[in-house]
Structure 1
Amino acid sequence: MTERNVLGEELATCSDDPRTGFERDGCCGTHPGDRGRHELCAVMTDEFLSFSAERGNDLVTPRPEFDFPGLAPGDRWCLCLGRWIEALEATRDRQLPETTVPPVVLDATNEAVLDAVDRETLEAHAYDA
């Protein structure tokens, strides 16, 4: 069965360079073994990468043992849903820059995230290519 995106269409590829997804297949699919829920496709920003590092998740340093190339601003990546929500809440609670919340690529974000984030919020943070 084909997975769907938050727009109700077929899920698009998030990124092949760097290769992302829980299974490193380029897509933000759902997987029973994925406790982190890497279902949201986002475009990295300097502010988000710093925010994530402050929370103990360094997304910049390559980790070849996990097939992780390290990320730079502008890279698309299937993020853990909880980290994206944490960044969203931090911008509200701590008045961090809006760019702390990385823009969402709607056609590559799995519809499964709608159980935690409403579509309007995702659209308000949509990547405008």
Structure 2
Amino acid sequence: MANPSARPQPKNVLGKPLIGCCTDPLTGFYRDGFCRTGAGDVGVHTVCAEMTEDFLAFSRSRGNDLTTPVPEYEFPGLQAGDRWCLCAARWKEAYDAGMAPRVLLAACHISSLEFATLEELSEHAIEE
């Protein structure tokens, strides 16, 4: 009999086990380095993206300043080159506007596919 307390391994958009996105800065809704989601994550922070100046400016123009630290939420403020678990809807909005940052597919949770297609994400894939 399976252990009822064992949680299934989250899958990425490629259908394989989810890998970590970033630990410096420590990202993820659960601040564990993984772009996984669950109850309470209304933003669905599932896309592992590498920040660019253009995307950070785009996000700020949409009312979400990702560059200013917010210590009470353990948010360090981001700069170009940082990897971060983005809200899937924000990534798709940036994609539609031609401003999407690159993504690490193996670190993007499968639920990202509810917002963007694998083809859209793959267009911006980081080669690793």
TM-score, normalised to structure 2's length?
Answer: 0.91
* Alignment partners' CA distance in 2, 1:117 and 1:85: 6
How much does 1:65 deviate?
0.8
Could you tell me which runs of 5 or more consecutive residues in structure 1 were left unpaired when the two chains were aligned. 92-99
Provide runs of 4+ in structure 1 moved above 2 Å: none
Aligned to 1:55: 62
Count of aligned residue pairs for this structure pair: 121
**In the alignment, which of 61, 69, 75 is matched to residue 82 of structure 2?**
75
For residue 42 of structure 1, give the secondary structure of its aligned residue in structure 2.
Answer: strand
Shift of 1:108: 0.3
How far is the alpha carbon of 1:125 from its aligned partner?
Answer: 1.0
Task: Give 1:42 shift.
Answer: 0.3
Equivalent residue for 1:36, pick from 32, 43, 49: 43
Which structure would you say has the larger Rg?
2
Tell me which protein shows more helix as a share of its residues: 1
Write out per-residue CA displacement over residues 4-37 of structure 1, whole angstroms, 9 at most, x where no aligned residue.
1111111000000000000101000011110000
In the alignment, the residues of structure 1 paired with residue 73 and residue 114 of structure 2 have an alpha-carbon distance, to the nearest angstrom, of 28
Structure 1 residues 25-78: Cα deviation after superposition (integer angstroms, max 9, x where no partner): 100001111000001100000000000011111100111011000001010000
State percent identity of aligned pairs.
Answer: 51
Q: Which runs of 5+ in 2 are unaligned?
A: 1-7
